[in-house]
Amino acid sequence: MTRVRLGTLLPFVPIALGCLALWWGGRDLVFGIASAAWPLAEGRVVASGTSRTAGGADGTGTGAAGANPGAGHQARIAYVFRVDGIEHRGDTVRFGVGLRRSRDAARALAREYPVGRRVDVRHDPSNPARSVLVPGLSIEAFVVPGLGAILLTIGSAWLFVARLRRRIERMRERRRRPA
């Protein structure tokens, strides 16, 4: 029975995570591009505010004794709109990961969309539940697929090096054996 080495299996973790991130982030890229051509519907903002997010590296967090110093803030905006007489609810301002912001930046975005404001909503004609307020791509849409590509590259390189080392070990073992 062949012995499975941890060094051979471990690279599949970043490879799998990279593929997942590429798939998930790629969806946002596709939706972002497609949303520019989606039909418009008139909508209304029904909720607008901010929430604190955990973790992160932007250093905007506050708390007792510096607890969770990497926490950030995120604007939370919800809207309703009608397509063919059916009311839909959405909460996507733009496609892409919602990057953690400072409290002031999140509040500024929430102020752009006060409750009751009329908004133009772009919706997917094949699935009106998929909607967005700002169509097209933003730089944020490239974050998740970019991280996915990095993880996939790291995992692939790691796997290549692990297999190469194993092959070199086998060659050395053959040389040591008496003929």
* pLDDT tens string 51-60: 887 754 433 3
- Report, as ranges of residue numbers, the positions in the chain whose pLDDT lies below 70: 1-8, 55-71, 97-100, 179
What the block records as the tokens of 179 is 């003929």
Beta bridge partners of 38: none
Full-model pTM: 0.70
Rounded to the nearest 10 degrees, what angle do helices 143-176 and 12-35 cross at?
Answer: 150
d(CA 60, CA 99): 12
d(CA 126, CA 134): 19
